[in-house]
Amino acid sequence: MPPSQPKQTRAIRTRKNLMAALERLLRTHEFEMISVQDIAKEAGVAVGSVYSHFKDKTAFLEALLTYWHEQVETQLEVAEAQDTKAAFVALGSLRAALYEATKAVHAQILENGHILRALQTYARLHPEAEDESWQSLVVRSFAPIGELLEVFGDEITLTDRDLATRMLGVFFNTIFIRSALMPEDTLLEAAKLDAETMISEVTDMAYGYLTLPRD
């Protein structure tokens, strides 16, 4: 008969199971509408088991913040290990590269909208929380933009490439946020803007910013 699983290992697995249950629930419910009982039911554990790992529902947000920070850092490490310049060269032109970058950012932000909404709740509840480590991750995420500008430098008229990298980094990190944070928002529908149109137009905005004739 195999030895019983160490208590610490079981605790780690239960905690991960609870976090995974919360993430699944966040895809269809706002954090404020999710109860500890809901999380326990989704995870298939007793409510009492939840409280042995998290003192209250707010503690889930703190754990989610840590979990997501680790996920983003891992994603950045994977991206930084890839030959991004070669991928951009293969696309053949500045606009094609900007289009693929815009499409990727759009997909990533909407895919993770449930996490972003929960983290926004945490930030609202804890305005004093430090975010320096998050800002450093955001700045790291700008690196591929700098490489894109380097690859297609001949097409770009903007001379301050560092400024352009930072501006596009902020632009890409904010332009699709409304749809992620407000999934029921009808603004895009009212404006008759579907996802493909948004991606194409955002690409053109970025392209125009980089290639506008300058004296």
- Answer whether residue 1 shows pLDDT above 70: no
Q: How many CB atoms lie within 10 A of CB 67?
A: 17
> Could you give the CA distance from residue 114 to residue 108 in angstroms, rounded to a whole number?
11
Please say whether the beta carbons of 164 and 158 come within 8 A: yes
Helix (H, G, I), strand (E, B) or coil at 182: coil
Q: Is residue 131 pLDDT above 90, yes or no?
A: no
Contact between residue 100 and residue 152 where contact means Cβ atoms under 8 Å apart? no
pLDDT digit string, tens, across residues 133-160: 778 888 888 999 999 999 999 999 999 9
pTM for the structure as a whole: 0.83
| pLDDT tens, residue by residue, 14-69 | 888 999 999 999 999 999 999 999 999 999 999 998 998 999 888 998 888 888 88
Count CA within 13 A, CB hemisphere, residue 96: 9
Kindly report the number of other CB atoms within 10 A of residue 117's CB atom. 17
The Cα-based distances of 82 to 11, 85, 107, 141, 147 in angstroms read 35, 9, 20, 13, 12
Residue 50 near residue 39, CB atoms below 8 Å: yes
57 and 122 Cβ atoms separated by less than 8 Å: no
